[in-house]
């Protein structure tokens, strides 16, 4: 199963775009990239997912490189409520198991 690598922590100024990178160099052609976030001691919250094309929803945008070996989650206008741990996950090719990496702790600064 593909593994993901994320920076352990990042800061972002309130109102600015937060760009969270993820490396998944061993991803295979049929594996999706998912992003979740977890605010302290709550359950993980789904943000967005994609396969090849860039995706956008009301929460965020997902940019996947052409070779699919990395992706970036973009929160366009970060707020204090976006402070959380963000997980990039490549879903197992054998089923719908999620194997979480260590994630990025994003702190939005006033």
Q: According to CB under 8 A, which one of 8, 29, 42, 81 is a site residue for other proteins?
A: 42
* 2 close to 26: Cβ distance less than 8 angstroms: yes
The answer for residues whose C-beta is within 8 angstroms of residue 49's C-beta and 6 or more apart is 32, 33, 34, 35, 55, 62
Among 23, 49, 59, 69, indicate the residue that binds other proteins (CB under 8 A): 49
Verify binding: residue 51, other proteins, rule CB under 8 A.
yes
| Site membership for other proteins, residue 100 (CB under 8 A) | yes
> Tokens 């969270």 — which residue?
20
35 binds other proteins (CB under 8 A): no
Q: Is residue 53 a contact point for other proteins (CB under 8 A)?
A: no
Q: How far apart are CA 17 and CA 21, in angstroms?
A: 13
Contact residues toward other proteins (CB under 8 A) are: 30, 32, 34, 36, 41-46, 49, 51, 87, 95-103
């Amino acid at each position: 199963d593909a593994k993901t690598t994320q920076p352990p922590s990042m800061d972002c100024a309130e109102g600015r775009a937060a760009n969270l990178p993820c490396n998944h160099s061993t991803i295979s052609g049929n594996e999706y990239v998912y992003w979740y976030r977890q605010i302290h001691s709550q359950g993980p919250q789904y943000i967005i997912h994609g396969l090849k094309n860039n995706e956008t929803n009301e929460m965020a945008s997902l940019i996947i490189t052409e070779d699919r070996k990395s992706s970036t989650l973009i929160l366009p206008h970060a707020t204090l409520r976006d402070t959380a741990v963000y997980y990039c996950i490549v879903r197992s090719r054998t089923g719908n198991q999620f194997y979480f990496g260590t994630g990025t702790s994003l702190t939005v600064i006033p």
